[in-house]
Amino acid sequence: MIEFKDVGLVYPNGTEGLKNINVKINDGEFVVIVGLSGAGKSTFIRSINRLVTPTTGELIIDDENILNYSSNKLRMLRTKTGMIFQNYNLVKRSNVFKNVLAGRLGHTGTIRSIFNQYKKEDVALAYESLHRVNIAEKIYNRADELSGGQQQRVSIARVLTQQPKYILADEPVASLDPPTSHQVMTYLKKINREDKITTIVNLHFIDMAMEYADRIIGMRAGEVVFDGPVSEVSESTFEEIYGRSIREDDLRGGAKES
Ligand code: ADP
């Protein structure tokens, strides 16, 4: 379980990224964070694996306050927290298989990983993960030979190979066209359901959030302004999140990405 208790984050330049956040995310949930650009979605998600560090409050993951973690504990935290990025973060010149096997790095000793000595089980797991996102036929292609949607599927396979307890996806479809975005979201949801991995996704577009989320957290100016199931989202929720009523460019296809 993940619990934010009065969490605040002030960046060194004085910007308040998070203000007084109190949120509990239960195991197995599929949560989508929505909000305008700059609302704090990325800061929220990156606090969970300590890519950024909140400056006040407590962030409890599996009964421990991760804000006190030393480097050893941080490594363990990052091994159980898989991250998916907007720009895929693959090693472009490496092939798909090596990229996916990199998901085991947190579990494999440094010496083994330096010499590319992966265990048989790790290799089998990487194959299986590639099959699960239907990209196994590209296994020996270089990552930079793939389309954006294919690269994002490889990055999902890498996360699967990591066998994390939590998946954090920071704008995973912001660089993709609508059909490809739906495909990527469908894989994320399927994995959440099948493997019961708690999944937290930042999305720009509210219609896509409504389609896939169990629960929506709306953010605005560093604060949580809505937290509830999709069934409770109403016109006034949009106003709280966007400061105005819903319009065409809050919907996928309505506007260009900022
Ligand atoms: P979102 O993901 O919703 O677009 P962010 O979490 O990236 O929002 O940003 C929240 C606020 O924090 C914004 O005002 C942004 O400009 C600011 N911010 C983000 N990262 C940094 C940083 N490294 N240094 C200073 N300010 C930052």
- pLDDT, tens digit, for every residue of 169-196? 999 999 999 999 999 999 999 999 999 9
- Our mutation pick for probing the ligand 1 site, out of 42, 48, 52, counting the most ligand atoms within 8 A of Cβ, is 42
pLDDT tens sequence across 120-132: 899 999 999 999 9
Please report the pLDDT score of residue 111 as a whole number: 57
Domain-embedded: residue 50: no
125 in a structural domain: yes
Q: Is the pLDDT of residue 257 over 60?
A: no
Share of the chain above pLDDT 90, in %: 81
Identify the residue whose C-alpha is closest to ligand 1 atom 15. Answer: 38
pLDDT of residue 105: 83
Q: Return the pLDDT at 29.
A: 97
- Domain membership flag for residue 45: no
CA angle at 149 for the pair 143 and 152, rounded to the nearest 5°: 60
Whole-number pLDDT of residue 254: 47
How many CB atoms sit inside 10 A of residue 117's CB? 11
Residue 231 CA to residue 173 CA, distance in Å, equals 23
The angle at the Cα of 167, spanning 164 to 172, to the nearest 5 degrees, equals 140
Distance 13 CA to ligand 1 centre (A): 11
- Band (pLDDT 50/70/90 cuts) for residue 115 is low
Better pLDDT: 247 or 102: 102
Question: Is 124 inside a domain boundary?
Answer: yes
* Residue 34 lies inside a defined structural domain of this protein: no
pLDDT at 109: 62
**Does the pLDDT of residue 250 top 80, yes or no?**
no
Nearest CA to ligand 1 atom 24: 11
Range of the domain at 117: 94-163
Number of independent structural domains in the chain: 1
Among 63-67, 242-246, 253-257, name the most confident range. 63-67
Nearest CA to ligand 1 atom 1: 38
Residues with CB under 6 A from ligand 1: 11, 13, 15, 17, 35, 37-43
| Residue 91, pLDDT score | 94
pLDDT score of 114 more than 70: no
Is residue 132 situated within a structural domain?
A: yes
Does 113 reside within a domain?
yes
**Cα-based distances in Å from 28 to 153, 196, 218:** 21, 5, 20
* 151 occurs within a structural domain: yes
Query: Ligand 1 centre from 81 Cα, in Å?
Result: 21
